[in-house]
A = this chain, B = another copy of it.
Amino acid sequence: MLGRTYEGEDCSAARALELVGERWSLLILRDALFRHYTRYSQFQSSLAIAPNILAKRLSTLVESGIFRTRAPETRPGHQEYVLTEMGQSFKPVIIALTRWGDQWISPGPVEFVHHQCDTEVEHEIRCAACGDDLPLADVQVRLRSPQPAG
């Protein structure tokens, strides 16, 4: 467990990192999301990760609800790791991380495209009121308003 954040309040970023805040977990998610890997052997071959670490990371990701396991009909005795909706929803994090690496380290071998028209996608942070694509400096945080009871 991480220490306190936001003066004792739980922060979603901190809690998200308790589930996925480790390089291997993030790379497993990358491979599942964008290479559509589902098998232990595929992750193993892609990441060259120690078998005990990979098994532990996959197991934690299943416990967290990010993957579910299934037994493929065509391969009895084997197990596949399939992203849940929670896991599928992690895509924007990997996209944002990759684009930062592309910009500040060096362009990687892949780009993100709209599958149907094969056009590169843009990642925008947009104001719901103005409709503007915002410069990052204009995006700040505020404390969430308390939700009405009942």
Contacts and interface: CB of A to CB of B under 8 A. Distances in A.
Interface residues of A, number: 85
Contacts of A55: none
A48 B14 CA distance: 13
B10 A49 contact: no
12 contacts: A6-B109, A11-B108, A11-B109, A12-B97, A13-B98, A13-B101, A14-B30, A16-B101, A93-B93, A115-B140, A121-B139, A124-B125
A85 to B, nearest CB: 9
Q: Give the copy number.
A: 2
Contacts of A119: 127-130
Interface string A43-63: 000111100000000000000
Interface string A125-148: 111111010101111111110010
Contact of A143 (B65, B92, B110, B126): B110
Contacts of A89: 100, 103-104, 136
Contacts of A17: 23, 26-27, 97
A137 to B, nearest CB: 7
Contacts of A120: 128
A91 interface: yes
Which of A13, A34, A88, A110 has the largest number of chain B CB atoms within 10 A? A13
